[in-house]
Every structure is written in C-alpha cells, then in structure tokens.
C-alpha cells in the first residue's frame, strides 16, 4: 500500500512538474512540438489550460479550430484521403484519439472514423448551433474541439466521427518517415 502511494505520488508529481518545468526549460517538451509544453503522447493527465494560454502555445490554424470551434473547409484537410497505417493524436495535446483501422472512406470531405482508440479518448457535448442538433466531439485530455459525431457510419459501430484534419497529428506505424 505504501509502495503504491509512493508510486502514485511520483507519477502525479512528475505530471505536475512537467508543465512547470517545461515552461522554464524544454527538457521534457516533445521534440516535434517545442513551443507546446502541454503536448505529450504518454501523459494522460486531464489538462485545465486557459484559452489565453493555448493561444500562446498553439499555431493559430490549430487554435481557431481547437479553441474557437472553427471548421476547416470540406476536402481541404491533410488527412481526408490518408490510408496509411498509424495512429492519430490530438494536435493540441498529443492525446491518442484514433487508429487508422477505424478510418473509412467517407464522401463528407473530412477524415472519418467509426470508433475512438479508447473510450475516454474523447468527450461529447450537445451542440445546437447553426440551427442543427449535433454532438460535438472534444479531446478527452485537453477539451479541444475536434469535430462532430453522426449516426451514419459503417459497421460495427454505425458511428461517424467527422474530424478536422488540422487538430489531428498522424504518426505512421514505425515512426515518422
Ligand atoms: Fe487534446
């Protein structure tokens, strides 16, 4: 029990330190995201970061979708036609979102998936904007707006996670080429 507590303390301590440490020096910052101290593909700690802080660390194109809930134009996203095997992460925080085996060819113009990597990879919020009743999909770790969920997907789930490419980071299996 004591060992477990110590372990938990070390894990939590490390998580808490990472953001602080990173803003002072970049030793723990993801090398591909040197300006974003919150980006991690291994730390699943839920983040509570203000929009003002995200504005400082995210490229504006990602910020506009992730925090301002903008939508990229259909058929313009970089992953619309991607078929390579690999994993899709949140471009804001590195949270693991989808595997390529759940991606399917959809005619909607945005990268579409029928299931998430983990149950808590994302969160859902009712979205009644623009006179439509939709389900908004948010990153389960950082709360970034990712896209919407529809019920017209293929088996086995019948779901269609309609995502904005700009808020996804794709890593091919075997590492970046
Ligand atoms: Fe995220």
Q: What is the pLDDT of residues 71-97, one digit of tens each?
A: 999 999 999 999 999 999 999 999 999
Mean pLDDT of 29-56: 94
pLDDT of 40 over the 60 cut: yes
pLDDT band at 32 (very low <50, low <70, confident <90, very high): confident
Q: What is the pLDDT of residues 118-158, one digit of tens each?
A: 999 999 999 999 999 999 999 999 999 999 999 999 999 99
How far apart are alpha carbons 111 and 41 in whole angstroms?
21
Q: Is residue 9 part of a domain?
A: no
How far apart are alpha carbons 30 and 45 in whole angstroms?
16
Q: Is residue 129 part of a domain?
A: yes
Closest to 125 (Cα-Cα) out of 102, 145, 98: 145
Q: Is residue 83 part of a domain?
A: yes
Q: Is residue 127 part of a domain?
A: yes
Mean pLDDT of 11-15: 36
Measured in Å, residue 64 CA sits from the centre of ligand 1 at 14
State the chain's mean pLDDT as an integer: 87
> Domain range for residue 55?
51-172
Kindly report the CATH number assigned to the domain that includes residue 82: 2.170.150.20
pLDDT band at 31 (very low <50, low <70, confident <90, very high): confident
Taking the whole predicted model, whether its pTM rises above 0.85 is answered as no
| Overall domain count for the chain | 1
Q: Is residue 85 part of a domain?
A: yes
Measured in Å, residue 140 CA sits from the centre of ligand 1 at 7
Helix (H) or strand (E) holding 171, with range, is strand 168-172
- Cα dist. 123→104, 119, 146 in Å? 21, 9, 10
pLDDT of 16 over the 60 cut: no
Q: Is residue 126 part of a domain?
A: yes
* CA triple 28-32-38, angle to 5 deg: 50
pLDDT of 39 over the 90 cut: yes
Measured in Å, residue 114 CA sits from the centre of ligand 1 at 19
Neighbours of 109 (CB within 10 A): 14
Q: Is 14 a catalytic residue?
A: no
Closest to 176 (Cα-Cα) out of 16, 18, 8, 30: 30
Q: Is residue 22 part of a domain?
A: no
């Amino acid at each position: 029990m004591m060992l477990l507590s110590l372990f938990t303390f070390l894990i939590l301590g490390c998580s808490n330190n990472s953001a602080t440490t990173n803003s002072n020096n970049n030793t723990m910052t993801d090398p591909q995201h040197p300006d974003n101290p919150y980006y991690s593909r291994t730390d699943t700690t839920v983040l509570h970061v203000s929009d003002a802080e995200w504005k400082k660390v995210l490229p504006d194109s990602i910020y506009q979708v992730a925090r301002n809930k903008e939508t990229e134009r259909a058929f313009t996203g970089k992953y619309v036609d991607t078929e390579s095997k690999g994993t899709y992460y949140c471009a804001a925080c590195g949270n693991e979102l989808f595997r390529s085996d759940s991606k399917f060819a959809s005619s909607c113009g945005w990268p579409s998936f029928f299931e998430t990597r983990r149950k808590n990879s994302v969160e859902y919020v009712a979205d009644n904007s623009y006179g439509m009743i939709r389900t908004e999909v948010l990153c389960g770790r950082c709360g970034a707006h990712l896209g919407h969920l529809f019920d017209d997907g293929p088996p086995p789930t019948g779901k269609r996670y309609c995502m904005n490419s700009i808020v996804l980071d794709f890593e091919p299996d075997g590492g970046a080429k």
